[in-house]
Amino acid sequence: MQHAPAVRSRPDWLGFGVVGLVLVGLALLGVNILFNMQAAGMTPGFGFLAQTAGFDLSESLIPYTPAASYARAIAAGVVNTLLLALACLALATTIGIAMGLVSVAPSPPGRVVATMFVELFRNLPKILVLLVIYVMAVRILPPVRDALSIGPVYLSNRSVYFPTIQPDASQIWLLLPLSAAVIMSLWWRHRARLHKQVTGQEWPVLPVALALLAGVPLIFAALTDVSLTLSYPEIERFDFTGGGRLSLQFLTVLLTLGLYHGAQIAEVVRGGIQAVPGGQVEAARALGLSPWNVTRLVVLPQVLRIVIPPMINQYVNLIKNTSIAIAVGYSDLMSVSGTIINQTFRPLEMMLITMGLYLGLCLLVSSLLNRLNDRLQSQAKRAQP
């Protein structure tokens, strides 16, 4: 029996050549930068990160003072960026899913509203939306001393003030009941899944989990000496003390990116819904399922598998677009980086640090969503007959 001759694969000389040219170009660029820095009497390095920053931040979630180092200022900017990105992702996803569902609803007025929303925010520059919202908020909201009161919450053109739980060292013990609540929630979710497989009936999972996560720590605190005293905002001279606050800059960027990317996500969701075969929806209705159950049990699970790849792009773009917060003075990573460059004249080092941090955040989000997508796709393949 004769065997077919083995096909010898030729090396991809074109690909090797392109990669080689790119590497040579990067090497020439790096050498040129080093020569120019030496000619200007500058020595590249990252030793400046240990120096005193000497500037303040408009807000910080971690302890920070002007006497802290540049490295701590960068860390504070990263934490502020993470908080802003997470809040914007949650708001944009909520708005996008809601508008996506309304855009394919049977109600003509609802479809018109969804279309107008998408076309408006999808075709306006983000920076323009940001500045319009910021100027309107500054003009409409009252000053601090005349802050608008909505119960214990106060609104001003500087911040939104609200009650918070006063920190106490004994609150560390709440980690024990919180961990127990997480374990009980997972156990209940497992039992509900088994019950559905056996009987076809659904047990409530999310309400029970939320009740456990909130109730178990509260019961533990009531039975022990853990302090859960509320701190309320009170006006003193020129500003409020006590409680918590969200700056107007943070809320403006949150609303801007939530609306802008919510419009983008709404189109992604609408496309995913229209990709679901209509016969499955009709079959679910024929079985007597309510419109809500048809959407929850038939449409959305399939839409999730369809929209995750384009949603990765939207989420990564949103994280990068948080850098527009510098336009309204929010102390995010980009704002801190610009201040450090102005003080130290280390543009190369700071741009490398900033690029690396943004790259790391975006790669982390895309990696997590890709893993979720792979898991959903494998589950769909196993479910096929």
What are phi and psi for residue 27, nearest 5 degrees?
Answer: -65, -45
pLDDT of residue 2: 54
Distance, in Å, from the CA atom of 363 to the CA atom of 371, rounded to the nearest integer, reads 12
Distance, in Å, from the CA atom of 59 to the CA atom of 62, rounded to the nearest integer, reads 9
Point out which residues pair with 69 in neighbouring strands: 52
Q: What pLDDT, in 10s, does the model give residues 185-214? A: 999 999 988 888 888 777 888 889 999 998
Of 77, 69, 72, the closest CA to residue 53 belongs to 69
Distance, in Å, from the CA atom of 345 to the CA atom of 156, rounded to the nearest integer, reads 37
Average pLDDT over residues 287-291: 80
User: With left for phi above 0 and alpha for psi between -120 and 50, is residue 64 left, alpha or beta?
Assistant: beta
In CATH, 70-147+246-383 is 3.40.50.720? no
- What percentage of residues in the chain have a pLDDT greater than 90? 37
User: With left for phi above 0 and alpha for psi between -120 and 50, is residue 86 left, alpha or beta?
Assistant: alpha
Task: Write the single-letter amino acid at 368.
Answer: L
**Of 73-77, 146-150, 298-302, which range is least confident?**
298-302
CA distances in angstroms from 321 to 73, 127, 261, 357, listed in the order given = 21, 10, 10, 14
Q: What pLDDT, in 10s, does the model give residues 18-55? A: 888 999 998 888 888 778 777 777 777 788 889 999 88
Strand 239-241 to 230-231 pairing: unpaired
Average pLDDT, the chain: 87
Question: What sections of the chain are H helices per DSSP?
Answer: 13-39, 70-103, 108-122, 126-140, 175-199, 206-223, 248-275, 278-286, 291-294, 300-321, 333-344, 347-383
- What percentage of residues in the chain have a pLDDT greater than 70? 96
Domain ranges of the chain: 70-147+246-383, 168-227
Buried/exposed 144-162: b ≥16 CB within 10 Å, e otherwise: beebeeeeeebbbbbbbbb
**More confidently predicted of 76 and 373:** 76
Distance, in Å, from the CA atom of 216 to the CA atom of 63, rounded to the nearest integer, reads 30
pLDDT of residue 234: 87
Point out which residues pair with 160 in neighbouring strands: 155, 246
The pTM score is: 0.84
Q: What pLDDT, in 10s, does the model give residues 75-127? A: 999 999 999 999 999 999 999 999 998 988 888 888 999 999 999 998 999 99
